Amino acid sequence: MQAINPLDGRYYEKTRALAPYFSEQALMKYRVMVECQYLLSLSLLGKTSLKKFSQREIKLLEDLYEKFDDISYTKIKDFEKVTNHDVKAVEYFIKEELKGTTLKSSLEWVHFALTSEDTNNVAYALILSNSIENVMIPEVERIIIILKMFTTKYSDLPMLSRTHGQSATPTTFGKEMKVFQVRLEKQISKLKSIKIEAKLNGATGNWSAHTSAYPKVDWMKFSNNFINQFNKVGSNSRIIKLVNNSYTTQIETHDSYIEVFDTLKRVNSILLDFSQDMWRYISDNWIIQIPKSGEVGSSTMPHKINPIDFENSEGNLGIANALFEFFARKLPISRLQRDLSDSTVERAFGTAFGHSYLGYTSLLKGLSKISINENKIKEDLLDHSEVVAEAIQTVLRSLDYPIPYEALKELTRGKKVTMDDFQIFIDNLKVSSKVKSELKKFTPLTYTGLASKIAKK
């Protein structure tokens, strides 16, 4: 293939779930939807000279976007070759489709008093809302389900922690999975609560054209109702809702877009963090990758099973976040009442979503091919007896024992110690037999604090 972008080349089949939202054809379909719904809303308003449409005429309008296909798209692109303006091409397409119908007398009401940004911003608001609700959130929730399974199954599996890359106070595998689970749940909850702003107020945000023709109509109320109508999808209510923004220049401010992108960026950062941790667990042989027949891990080393799914996830999530960060810097800024630099940037939304989605699916694929090596996890933990030094010195502190931290530091820092070394150390302490007995109960396998309880909570 000659595709420049890998999303439309190497990863074409893997990103098709987003094509109904972010392809050029999808954008045209959404624009047609907005224009047709606007025309219908004007008809239902009953306060202009536009006639009230019959049920058959309403069906004609709805069919223009519900049955939008390759032929429809080609017609629009043919108009665009002449107009060199994509939204005007959409207007001409709708008029062309309606001119042989009973709506032929209403053609000049198509795109009435609107600027192209009125159509565009509502279309993009719907694209973002639908793609997040139907594709992005469900994929992340699949990851959360797997994390919940790990959390439950391995809540009591003791595991060596590492801080600064060095052995540290033990935890449990389930508790560490719980951390990622809860982090993701918080962000998904925030994502679902975001309301995407959209506007329908003309060339500079003042409804000037609207009021010039019909000064007595409450156009603010009309616009609010128009935006809110999109929050119903059949008999269901949309999760990511749209709200009207009455305070704009020609363009919608895009501030709510940035809320979306920043939240997705946090989701991606959490999953990137998770991918890196899983990579390290695989490297330590704490997680075993299940080999797939026919696959190879290296062109020269036959034994290799590389953690490529977690590496692909990390890379794609990084690309996505770089774009989301750029969107956050670029989109809230526009020269005076309007410049067009946001238009080409908006067309890259699908690229950021595509790489995010690839990150999610790659991670899910990686998680489907692993098993937890409980014996190795315990074996490595037992090889790091030094981790109980914290427990011993803390208990001694609570008893006002002199300089316990320094004593344990002398015993352990930079040294390989065993539990026998701790037994000797404890025997030499000037404390009661009862305290010595309690101190000897600390082992790497049992010194996990409330980790199990945290995982099960």
DSSP state, 167?
E
Query: How many Cβ atoms sit within 10 Å of the Cβ of residue 264?
Result: 22
d(CA 81, CA 155): 62
Spatial neighbors of 65 by CB under 8 A, at least 6 apart, are 29, 30, 32, 33, 36
Amino acid identity of residue 306, one-letter, is N
d(CA 171, CA 173): 7
d(CA 457, CA 455): 6
**What crossing angle do the helices spanning 24-45 and 70-83 adopt, rounded to 10°?**
90
* Residues designated catalytic: 164, 298
d(CA 342, CA 128): 16
Amino acid identity of residue 181, one-letter, is Q
Query: How many Cβ atoms sit within 10 Å of the Cβ of residue 382?
Result: 15
Pair 76, 89: CB distance under 8 Å? yes
Phi and psi at 288, nearest 5°, equal -105, 130
CA 274 to each of CA 178, 268, 292, 316, 359: distance values in angstroms, whole numbers, following the listed order: 11, 10, 23, 14, 11
Per DSSP, what are the bridge partners of residue 140?
Answer: none
Query: How many Cβ atoms sit within 10 Å of the Cβ of residue 39?
Result: 25
d(CA 24, CA 2): 18
Spatial neighbors of 441 by CB under 8 A, at least 6 apart, are none
d(CA 27, CA 33): 10
Spatial neighbors of 294 by CB under 8 A, at least 6 apart, are none
d(CA 267, CA 192): 13
Spatial neighbors of 133 by CB under 8 A, at least 6 apart, are 238, 239, 240
d(CA 112, CA 313): 46
Instruction: State whether residue 168 is helix, strand or coil.
Output: strand
